């Protein structure tokens, strides 16, 4: 005790410690460090909004300025979570409005945000600066108008991929003339036309604007004016990238792009007319991030564009790029770190493009820094996966989606166990993995044995029985999130590894073979888990306990069962 | 018993109706009405499947199910007869689960006791399957599909080598009995009743009796394409964007664009919204049938029909009568925010301008004019 630092010193030292992990670590050193830390924490990330309650957070951290919350499970992105499930942010806003008048930043993902919530935010936090709504829903442009009108110091308004009830673009005019603080504006998910003159004026009076992601409704001929008002832009998302070919529009556009010397990231490119693509060439050498995943242009045009971007680090593109385009990418973009290839026609039985496993192999060979992959394709071989694994032992995120479930290695007709096994064996730092293709329990054996740093695993249409799940739960030491659909995993593995579930953020299982009885048992015995059964067919207890549940979502929580469940969700009660 | 309510958002999969209408059926009430299919081979499936899998079956699949109802299916070679007595199953289930909850000392007894439950599918998918909702039909844990068993030495070995004593013979039994490529061929089945339609792979929607065999073998392409819910895993935003993009492009080529176009469908009095993919339909009739099936569970409650296996068939036609008897009308909100009756404009124009659908009581829809589709 005689040697302990005064609190002010501790506080000063702690002010240099920023990451959640480090902050959490120092908070458990001793009681006084816990106290100093909790009073000095300004930023918090809550990966599951139901893992804790607003009251608990506020009690522990009285001085937060920045809150990040995630709501629905990841599979909600693919329509597997019915509407009304939950994730409503309003209780959080209401509690924080009282407790954190100085709140500056709110970052929400997969949450239901109503206009009421947005209005409350805009009125409650005088110094509110950052609002990021990622894949959220439940609000309209009325709520946005409230934010625009009332948040005097707004710096970031980012609506990425949210579902907005878009009544009109009029809300943008609610930004007062005195608003000059915008740094980032992302309205790419909106459908309506915003008032272009209001937009131009807004862009023109915000000298710090770095990020501007327009929506599709902004026509190409409006872009040069916007760019001229913001030559300092670092990240740009175009609107529709098409117009009749008119030389004056083209040269205006090219000139505007040439003038933006800071540009590093490009996106948008809806409805691309290839003739206009050369307008961006002047900016290409500085581009590190390129999102062409809505650009329905063919491989030759894609190649021309991409090969100009020698410093490219991230590329999102449609499968129109084909193997040839990926070869060109591998040859030109040696700094590439992340590649995402999306399917242009995901519901087609046969492929429409010449994109195969070979493209991915090429990139893995040619790009030494490649560590993050999301790849949709229609065929794969174990040999290709083994090559990729050996080429890129630095892989950290590997998500492969072979479009047809249970597809075999098309050369050997074997399952793809060996291929994915090679991935986990060679890529020792792998944090995230998504599987596809025909897979037996063996792949899970490999994963359990080798994937020691794996934090998130997504599984669909795979495995033979409980053993697969058991391998993963017992072997993957770093596992935090596990999501499974349509696999024959049942009670045994789940119950045998019940304790593991408390070390994870969440487990999702849908269309599997977990019985209602097992869910009940788990709920009874594990007080720190919320075991939620989702069944739209009616009460699960109206059927024998041996019947399987439709969907199961298990997550650890210190807040106990939630109280906002819809009629089709049941929490299994803990017996005291 | 009132029918279960569904809140699932689907791409218009009519299978939702299967689940819905089966509400009153539960595993225990298998009194044979003449419509129940018996398990002639002495095999039945106690594997489990989630109704969500069911709901992922396509509309076509549902139609095919009715055909299949009368076909005899091959049972899985080597599969045992599962318990017929649900009480016994429950007992075993409880016993099993308790012992496995604390993994440090896996109970052999518990595990072995469950082995009898690990049976796998016979795959008789019966008439009753098509009639009943999946949820009732489920049994616990040991999944299996009605697939041809591909003997795989590796399967039996792996449990031994890796199990480390935690998963002894039971797993082996489980694995050996399970179909090779079962993956998740969910078969939600009541022990007393043959497996369900859900066992069919969604993709194998042709009504042929080779269905189960072909689905086992992934190299065979299904004749008709069915969309599995949430697969491939692409966000709605991207799906809808691509749909509009390709539509724009294809307008030049003159062909109908692919991609999905999800819109919300609500019904007066129903607690849940659904989502349908308008691109899976090409006529008003198809849309209307799909919606009828999707929302039949709500109106069935109002019809007050109960209990018999044939109920669903009856009530579908009853629902059709309801809809056509103008108790309900189908309306949509167009791009301008106006509510219109469905059916007035050509189909293409409709899907381009429809933002959401609503099934309204006719009495509420009077102001919209009476030129609905009939």
Mean pLDDT of A89-106: 97
Task: Give me the pLDDT at residue B282, please.
Answer: 81
Task: Give me the pLDDT at residue B126, please.
Answer: 39
Best A462, A463, A547, A568 residue to mutate vs chain B (most B CBs within 10 Å): A547
Residue B241 to chain A, least CA–CA distance (Å):
8
- Which residues of chain B does A434 touch, with a Cβ-Cβ cutoff of 8 Å? 233
Tokens of residue B24, six digits: 């009153």
Average confidence score pLDDT of chain B = 50
A188, pLDDT greater than 80: yes
- How many beta-carbon pairs under 8 angstroms link A with B? 346
Ordered alpha helix ranges (H), A350-505:
357-366, 382-391, 417-426, 441-450, 466-475, 491-496, 498-501
Nearest to B23 among A464, A474, A538 (CB): A538
Nearest to A537 among B135, B231, B337 (CB): B135
The verdict on a CB contact (< 8 Å) between B158 and A442 is yes
User: For residue range A98-141, what is the model confidence (pLDDT) as tens digits?
Assistant: 999 999 999 999 999 999 999 999 999 999 999 999 999 999 99
Share of chain A above pLDDT 90, in %: 89
User: For residue range B38-72, what is the model confidence (pLDDT) as tens digits?
Assistant: 544 444 343 333 333 333 334 444 444 444 444 44
The verdict on a CB contact (< 8 Å) between A547 and B19 is no
Residue B240 contacts residue A79 (beta carbons within 8 Å): no
pLDDT interval class at B354 (50, 70, 90): confident
Spatial distance between the Cα atoms of B131 and B66, rounded to a whole number of angstroms: 9
Comparing CA positions, the residue from B309, B287, B311, B289 lying closest to residue B300 is B311
- In chain B, whose CA is at the least distance from the CA of A413? B219
User: For residue range B90-125, what is the model confidence (pLDDT) as tens digits?
Assistant: 333 434 444 444 443 333 433 333 333 333 333 344
- Longest C-alpha distance within chain A, in Å? 79
Task: Give me the pLDDT at residue B342, please.
Answer: 86
Task: Give me the pLDDT at residue B188, please.
Answer: 37
The verdict on a CB contact (< 8 Å) between A440 and B47 is no
The verdict on a CB contact (< 8 Å) between A545 and B144 is no
Whether residue B232 has a cis bond before it, omega within 30° of 0: yes
Spatial distance between the Cα atoms of B248 and B244, rounded to a whole number of angstroms: 6
Spatial distance between the Cα atoms of A263 and A283, rounded to a whole number of angstroms: 7
Those residues with Cβ within 8 angstroms of residue B337's Cβ, 6 or more apart along the chain or in another chain: A167
Task: Give me the pLDDT at residue B107, please.
Answer: 39
Mean pLDDT of B333-350: 84
Task: Give me the pLDDT at residue A407, please.
Answer: 95
pLDDT interval class at A168 (50, 70, 90): confident
Mean pLDDT of A317-336: 96
User: For residue range B190-211, what is the model confidence (pLDDT) as tens digits?
Assistant: 333 333 333 333 333 333 333 3
A181, pLDDT greater than 50: yes
Nearest to A405 among B231, B239, B271 (CB): B231
Residue A195 contacts residue A173 (beta carbons within 8 Å): yes
> Which of A355-369, A410-424, B136-150 has the lowest average pLDDT?
B136-150
Cα–chain center distance at A156: 18
- Grouping H, G, I as helix, E, B as strand and the rest as coil, residue B156 is helix
Task: Give me the pLDDT at residue B156, please.
Answer: 37
The verdict on a CB contact (< 8 Å) between B167 and A567 is no
* Strand-pair partners of B333: B339, B356
Comparison of pLDDT for A169 and A60, the residue scoring more: A60
Comparison of pLDDT for A253 and B281, the residue scoring more: A253
Burial class (CB in 10 A: 0-12, 13-18, 19+), B347: middle
> Which of A384-388, A503-507, B35-39, B266-270 has the lowest average pLDDT?
B35-39
Q: What length is written for chain A? A: 576
Spatial distance between the Cα atoms of A86 and A91, rounded to a whole number of angstroms: 12
pLDDT interval class at B182 (50, 70, 90): very low
B255, pLDDT greater than 80: no
- Which residues of chain A does B19 touch, with a Cβ-Cβ cutoff of 8 Å? 536-537
> Which of A168-172, A199-203, A534-538, B13-17 has the lowest average pLDDT?
B13-17
Q: How many C-beta atoms lie closer than 10 Å to residue A398's C-beta?
A: 25
- Which residues of chain B does A405 touch, with a Cβ-Cβ cutoff of 8 Å? 183, 203, 228, 231
The verdict on a CB contact (< 8 Å) between A548 and B273 is no
User: For residue range A370-395, what is the model confidence (pLDDT) as tens digits?
Assistant: 999 999 999 999 999 999 999 999 99
> Which of A106-115, B27-36, B155-164 has the lowest average pLDDT?
B155-164
pLDDT interval class at B174 (50, 70, 90): very low
- Which residues of chain B does A80 touch, with a Cβ-Cβ cutoff of 8 Å? 52, 229-230
Mean pLDDT of B137-166: 36
Comparison of pLDDT for A349 and B126, the residue scoring more: A349
Task: Give me the pLDDT at residue A264, please.
Answer: 97
Q: How many C-beta atoms lie closer than 10 Å to residue A286's C-beta?
A: 16
Comparing CA positions, the residue from A425, A368, A408, A411 lying closest to residue A391 is A368
Task: Give me the pLDDT at residue B82, please.
Answer: 40
Mean pLDDT of A337-346: 95
Mean pLDDT of B333-338: 82
Spatial distance between the Cα atoms of A358 and A335, rounded to a whole number of angstroms: 20
Spatial distance between the Cα atoms of A422 and A409, rounded to a whole number of angstroms: 14
A61, pLDDT greater than 50: yes
pLDDT interval class at B245 (50, 70, 90): low
Mean pLDDT of A196-217: 95
- Grouping H, G, I as helix, E, B as strand and the rest as coil, residue A343 is coil
Helix (H) or strand (E) run with residue A456 in it? strand A456-460
Comparison of pLDDT for B237 and A374, the residue scoring more: A374
Residue A294 to chain B, least CA–CA distance (Å):
7
- Span between the terminal Cα atoms of chain A, in Å: 40
B260, pLDDT greater than 70: no
B12, pLDDT greater than 90: no
Mean pLDDT of A137-165: 95
């Amino acid at each position: 005790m005689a040697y302990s630092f005064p609190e002010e010193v501790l506080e000063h030292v702690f002010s240099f410690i920023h990451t959640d992990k480090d902050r959490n670590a120092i908070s458990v050193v001793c009681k006084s460090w816990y106290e100093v830390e909790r009073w000095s924490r300004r930023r918090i990330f809550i990966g599951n909004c139901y893992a804790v309650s607003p009251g608990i957070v506020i009690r522990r951290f009285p001085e937060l300025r920045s809150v990040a919350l995630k709501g629905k499970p990841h599979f909600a992105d693919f329509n597997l979570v019915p509407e009304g499930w939950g994730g409503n942010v309003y209780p959080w806003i209401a509690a924080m409005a009282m407790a954190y008048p100085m709140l500056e930043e709110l970052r929400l993902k997969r949450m239901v945000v109503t206009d009421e919530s947005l209005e409350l935010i805009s009125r409650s936090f005088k110094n509110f600066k950052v609002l990021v709504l990622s894949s959220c829903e439940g609000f309209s442009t009325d709520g946005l108008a409230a934010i625009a009108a009332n948040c005097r110091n707004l710096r970031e308004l980012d609506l990425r991929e949210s579902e907005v009830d878009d009544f009109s673009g009029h809300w943008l005019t609610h930004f007062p003339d005195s608003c000059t603080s915008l740094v980032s504006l992302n309205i790419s998910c909106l459908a309506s036309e915003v008032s272009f003159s209001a937009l131009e004026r807004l862009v023109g009076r915000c000298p710090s604007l770095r990020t501007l992601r327009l929506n599709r409704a902004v026509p190409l001929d409006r872009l040069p004016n916007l760019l001229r008002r913001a030559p300092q832009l670092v990240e740009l998302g175009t609107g529709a990238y098409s117009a009749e070919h008119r030389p004056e529009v083209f040269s205006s556009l090219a000139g505007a792009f040439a003038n933006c010397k800071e540009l590093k990231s490009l996106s948008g490119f809806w409805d691309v007319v290839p003739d206009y693509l050369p307008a961006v060439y002047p900016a290409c050498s500085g581009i590190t991030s390129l999102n062409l995943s809505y650009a329905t242009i063919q491989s030759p045009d894609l190649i021309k564009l991409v090969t100009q971007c020698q410093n490219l680090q991230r590329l999102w593109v449609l499968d129109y790029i084909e193997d040839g385009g990926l070869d060109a990418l591998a040859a030109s973009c040696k700094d590439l770190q992340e590649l995402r290839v999306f399917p242009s026609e995901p519901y087609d039985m046969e492929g429409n493009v010449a994109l195969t496993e070979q493209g991915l192999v090429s990139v893995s060979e040619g790009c030494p820094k490649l560590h993050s992959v999301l790849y949709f394709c229609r065929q794969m071989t174990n040999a290709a996966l083994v090559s990729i694994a050996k080429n890129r032992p630095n892989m950290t995120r590997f998500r492969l989606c072979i479009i047809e479930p249970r597809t075999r290695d098309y050369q050997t007709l074997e399952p793809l166990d060996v291929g994915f096994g090679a991935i986990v064996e060679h890529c020792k730092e792998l944090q995230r993995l998504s599987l596809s293709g025909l897979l037996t329990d063996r792949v899970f054996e490999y994963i359990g044995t080798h994937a020691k740093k794996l934090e998130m695993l997504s599984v669909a249409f795979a495995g033979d029985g409980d053993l697969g799940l058991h391998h993963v739960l017992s072997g993957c030491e770093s596992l935090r999130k596990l999501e499974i659909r349509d696999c024959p995993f049942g009670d045994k593995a789940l119950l045998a590894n019940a304790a593991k579930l408390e070390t994870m953020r969440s487990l999702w299982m849908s269309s599997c073979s977990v019985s209602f009885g097992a869910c009940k048992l788990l709920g009874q015995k594990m007080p720190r888990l919320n075991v939620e059964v989702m069944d739209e067919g009616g009460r699960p207890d109206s059927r024998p306990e041996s019947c399987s549940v439709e969907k199961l979502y298990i997550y650890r929580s210190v807040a106990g069962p939630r109280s906002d469940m819809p009629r089709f969700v049941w929490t299994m009660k803990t017996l005291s | 018993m009132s029918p279960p309510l569904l809140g699932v958002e689907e791409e218009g999969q009519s299978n939702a109706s299967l689940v819905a209408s089966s509400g009153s059926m539960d595993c225990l009430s298998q009194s044979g009405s003449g419509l129940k299919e018996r398990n002639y081979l002495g095999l039945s499936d106690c594997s489990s499947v989630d109704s969500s899998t069911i709901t992922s079956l396509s509309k076509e699949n549902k139609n095919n199910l009715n055909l299949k109802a009368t076909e005899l299916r091959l049972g899985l070679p080597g599969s045992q007869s599962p318990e017929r007595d649900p009480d016994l199953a429950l007992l075993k289930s409880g016993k099993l689960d308790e012992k496995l909850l604390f993994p440090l000392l896996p109970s052999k007894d518990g595990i072995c006791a469950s082995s009898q439950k690990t049976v796998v599918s016979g795959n008789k998918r019966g008439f009753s399957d098509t009639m009943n909702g999946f949820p009732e039909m489920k049994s616990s844990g040991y999944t299996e599909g009605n697939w041809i068993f591909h003997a795989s030495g590796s399967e039996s070995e792996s449990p031994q080598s890796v199990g480390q004593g935690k998963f002894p013979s039971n797993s082996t039994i489980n694995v050996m009995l399970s179909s090779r490529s079962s993956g998740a061929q969910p078969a939600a089945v009541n022990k007393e009743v043959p497996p369900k339609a859900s066992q069919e792979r969604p993709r194998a929607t042709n009504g042929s009796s080779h269905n189960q065999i072909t689905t086992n073998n992934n190299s065979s392409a299904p004749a008709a394409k069915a969309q599995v819910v949430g697969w491939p895993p692409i966000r709605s935003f991207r799906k809808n964007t691509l749909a509009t993009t390709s539509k724009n492009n294809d307008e030049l080529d003159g062909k109908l664009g692919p991609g999905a176009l999800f819109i919300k469908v609500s019904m007066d009095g129903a607690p849940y919204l659904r989502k349908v993919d308008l691109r899976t339909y090409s006529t008003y009739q198809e849309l209307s049938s799909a919606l009828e099936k999707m929302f039949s569970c709500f109106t069935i409650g109002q019809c007050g029909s109960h209990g018999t296996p044939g109920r669903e068939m009856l009530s579908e036609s009853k629902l059709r009568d309801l809809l056509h008897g103008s108790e309900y009308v189908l309306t949509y909100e167009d791009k301008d925010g106006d509510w219109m009756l469905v059916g007035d404009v050509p189909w293409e124009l409709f899907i381009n301008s429809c933002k959401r659908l609503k099934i309204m009581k006719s009495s509420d829809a009077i102001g919209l004019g009476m030129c609905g589709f009939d």
